Amino acid sequence: MVDPLDIRHGNKILLFLLEKGEIKKTDLLEIMSSSDSLSRSLQDLINAGLIESETIIQGRKVILTKLTPLGRKVAEQLKKANDILEDYNKRQNKQNYSKYNETIKCSLCGYENPEKAKFCLECGTRVEWG
């Protein structure tokens, strides 16, 4: 079986399908730059049993793509790993900015952001100085 982590763009496709559910193949061009590499990646994911596709005719040919139960499990684990990395990176950024003395409170979440921050480190809202 092919390791999904070795499939080019595999992680990106699995996470996109986890978020969106069943979609048209062409919707994946939103995250891919080339339809050729998309087709190759999709075929590898199908061969690995992580996604399935169905061709339907609605005036024209439409290919629907969705996660298999195994693909959903893999995508959920990838999302968990991404969330852990994102939290770690947030903490690192907070530590890097802790050397600044002046802070500003986020108008949305109330987080105390360091001097010179343009966006809230907690929620991503644009910080307004002044």
Check residues 85 and 3 and name the one with the higher pLDDT: 85
Residue 3 has pLDDT above 90, yes or no: no
What pLDDT score does 126 carry?
87
Burial of residue 72 (number of CB atoms within 10 Å: 0-12, 13-18, 19+): middle
Nearest to 123 by CA among 28, 91, 110, 11: 110
Instruction: List, for residues 20-41, the tens digit of each pLDDT value.
Output: 999 999 899 888 878 888 888 8
What pLDDT score does 18 carry?
96
Q: Is 0.75 topped by the overall pTM? A: no
